[in-house]
Amino acid sequence: MLINVANLEDGQSTCALNLACALSGTDQLCADRWKGARRVILFDAEPTRGTATGYASGGQLPVSRDSLPLGDSTIDKWLLRILAIASKVDYLVVDSPPHFDAIARAILGVSDLVVIPCSSSAADLMGVAAIMRAIGTMRLARPDGGPKCLLVPTRGTAETTRGDEIGDALRKFGEPVGPAIYRRAAFEDAFAGRWIGDFAHYSPAHEAAVALAVCVEAILA
């Protein structure tokens, strides 16, 4: 399954990394690749920005990391190589480019599920609207009616009502809304090569990442 984590604002790399690791079904503190119930690759679709690569640099994640610069290949050939990688694992979680260019659109077109972290800011909601228009066009063209979509409230805090406001705003798009990934210090503190299940096991942040993975699995079942 190819899961594309896409957004035009911040928060997507945190979501992509922790979703990928939670999907692996790894045991507590297990950082060995492929030791979980599922084989998962975290794919950095823009290695020049390298946020996902930076997360994985410490080598302590229960998933493998990959990147594939476009280089001299055409987008079509580039996509074929990504799909070949995806066919060998249970989940390929793509940390998509932070701008909605031809590459981002191409990844949308081959995704099984698009996960969109989003706040309630006007800029973020406009970005989601642009992505949703592209998804609508692709659904008309694809025989399977895909990709599926999951909107994830983010950037709010658990201590405010802002998270609920974000959920209300996202539900207006008519797509499933997943568990909120609130802005928590634990996510930022875990940046140096660890995922939240290793850094802060059983914390609210870890529970949120697991809840998101369970939601994703249910949508793709």
pLDDT-derived band at 64, boundaries 50, 70, 90:
confident
CB contact at 8 A, 62 and 21: yes
Q: Is the pLDDT of residue 84 over 50?
A: yes
Q: pLDDT value at position 196? A: 86
Residue given tokens 């823009």 in the structure block? 46
- State how beta strands 2-5 and 91-95 pair: parallel
CB contact at 8 A, 20 and 156: no
Q: What is the C-alpha separation between 58 and 63, in angstroms, rounded?
A: 12
CB contact at 8 A, 177 and 171: yes
Q: pLDDT value at position 159? A: 44
Express each pLDDT in 24-51 by its tens digit: 987 655 555 556 678 999 998 876 666 7
Topology of domain 2-220, per CATH?
Rossmann fold (3.40.50)
Higher pLDDT, 37 or 161: 37
Higher pLDDT, 12 or 55: 12
Where exactly are the structural domains of the chain? 2-220
Average predicted confidence (pLDDT) for the chain: 83
Give 152's strand partners.
Answer: 117
CB contact at 8 A, 157 and 163: yes
Give 151's strand partners.
Answer: 116, 177
Q: pLDDT value at position 99? A: 75
Q: How far is CA 72 from the centre of its chain?
A: 26
DSSP 3-state assignment of 174? coil
DSSP H helices in the chain? 12-23, 51-56, 75-86, 102-110, 122-141, 162-171, 185-189, 196-199, 204-220
CB contact at 8 A, 186 and 152: no
Q: Is the pLDDT of residue 120 over 70?
A: yes
Kindly state the average pLDDT of the residues 162-182.
81
Q: Is the pLDDT of residue 90 over 90?
A: yes
Kindly state the average pLDDT of the residues 137-161.
82
